[in-house]
Amino acid sequence: METQDFSVNILDPKKIRICRDESGRLKLIFDEAVKINLKRVVRAFPLTMPWRYIILIDENNREIGLLRDIKDLDDSSRKILKEELEKIYFIPKITKIQRIKEEFGVLIWETETDKGPRRFEVTSRRDIKKIGKRRIIIRDADGNLYDIPDYANLDQKSLVLLESVI
């Protein structure tokens, strides 16, 4: 156990680069000199600001620092980081709702997502969470997440189905 440090180390996007090694792990390069293996990249605000405030964690579970916005990175680093984040946070976006059936209080959703068709069950209406004005995040019975970034953009039928459960 080390002494805790409460200050936040904000990383300068101009001074860092992110790449992958041969086995696909992420590496952070400081000033083209110091190389650090990354164990994880974590979103501080995964739902509200998915591409901002990314925290980098090294192999010893130590926090290296905080990246304010991935768009400040160079193209290749940004691409790699984005790819990694999209992998770690697998939150498909629902593009169309085919059907929502209610069976004994369990909602069975049949949807199209940007990752392909998906059928899932929601056991509590509290798991359909409204974020901001028009964003909806759904957590299914197994703990998987789904995102509707702006429900006003859904087609009429999906919208009617969604309205019936919120």
Which parts of 48-77 interact with other proteins (CB under 8 A)? none
116 binds other proteins (CB under 8 A): yes
Q: Which residue has the tokens 């926090």?
A: 63
Are the beta carbons of 146 and 97 closer than 8 angstroms? no
Measured at the CA of 51, the angle between CA 142 and CA 81, to 5 degrees, comes to: 90
As a whole number of angstroms, the longest Cα–Cα distance in the chain is: 60
Please report how close the Cβ of residue 8 comes to other proteins at its closest, in angstroms: 20
124 binds other proteins (CB under 8 A): yes
> Which among 161, 157, 154 has a CA at the least distance from the CA of 100?
161
Q: Which stretch binds other proteins (CB under 8 A): 12-20, 26-34, 72-80, 135-143?
A: 135-143
Token pair of 59 as six digits: 């192999």
Binding mask 16-55 for other proteins (x = CB under 8 A): -------xxx--------------------x---------
For other proteins, the closer CB: 117 or 155: 117
Q: For other proteins, which residue of 121, 130, 149, 160 counts as binding (CB under 8 A)?
A: 121
> Which among 76, 65, 157 has a CA at the least distance from the CA of 111?
157
Please report how close the Cβ of residue 54 comes to other proteins at its closest, in angstroms: 13
Neighbours of 77 (CB within 10 A): 20
Q: Which residues bind other proteins (CB under 8 A)?
A: 1, 3, 23-25, 46, 86-92, 103-106, 113, 115-118, 120-121, 123-125, 140-145, 164
